Amino acid sequence: MGDFDIGVITDNLPFLWQGLQLSLLLTGLAIVGGIVLGTVLALMRLSGLLPLSLFAAGYVNLIRSVPLILVIFWFYFLVPLALGRPVGGFQSALIAFILFEAAYYSEIIRAGIQSVRSGQVHAGQATGLSYWQIQRYVVLPQAFRNMIPILVTQGIILFQDTSLVFVVSLRDFMTVSSIIARTEGRLAEMYIFAALVYFVICLAGSLFVRRLQKAKPA
């Protein structure tokens, strides 16, 4: 560590920034897609309709039983076969992340929905609202307020998991850091810097979650 060269970091900041942008973009899109699909799965599971409930439960249990890296491989190789044409690594990785994260968001959202008092549902039924209208206008707005901290926490985990996209040749932040480390022969500098960046971003997210939890009304 005596010859620690910070210049290798500053000289490669444009490339590192490009990798970080890809990681953040993938994280943001996967969070949005995962929450949307996860909400649909949670509502299906709670709908009381046996076919929908069984499908949602089967999907969640299947996806949660396999590692994310395997899901990325599946969609990197299977999506082009299904579509009959090549699909970029980013698109296939994004599909894999959305479908994978949806299983976890589904359980979070299902717990959030169940945390809403049953009296709220009964009030909606008394006014003549349908099941889906009750969920849309009464239950989900309250549930999401309760779920924001855990949703942000899952987003932090997702950001860390984006480092797995190296398996489909995407140059995310971690992959770019590794390439520079090997090319420049400065492993210590690059891996320490990468660890610090992940730490700062995840710490900021954790502090945000803690602030939300303190601000949450009793």
Tens digit of pLDDT for each residue in 97-145? 999 999 999 999 888 888 888 787 788 878 887 777 888 888 888 888 8
Predicted pLDDT at 28: 94
Q: Across residues 66-93, what is the average pLDDT?
A: 83
Q: Does some domain include residue 157?
A: yes
pLDDT exceeds cutoff 60 at 218: no
Q: Does some domain include residue 42?
A: yes
Q: Does some domain include residue 7?
A: no
Q: Does some domain include residue 52?
A: yes
Q: Does some domain include residue 36?
A: yes
Please provide the average confidence, as pLDDT, over all residues in the chain: 87
Q: Does some domain include residue 71?
A: yes
pLDDT exceeds cutoff 80 at 95: yes
Predicted pLDDT at 217: 54
Task: Report percent pLDDT > 90 for the chain.
Answer: 44
| Range(s) of the domain holding residue 160 | 25-172
Number of domains in the chain: 1
**pTM attached to this predicted model:** 0.85
Q: Does some domain include residue 11?
A: no
Q: Does some domain include residue 162?
A: yes
Which CATH number goes with the domain that contains 90? Answer: 1.10.3720.10
**Residue, of 7 and 217, whose pLDDT is higher:** 7
Alpha-carbon dihedral sign for residues 49, 52, 58, 63: negative
The pLDDT tens digits of the residues spanning 150-197 come to: 888 899 999 999 999 988 888 999 999 999 999 888 888 899 999 999
- pLDDT grade for 15, boundaries at 50, 70 and 90: very high
- Give the residue carrying structure tokens 């959030």: 112
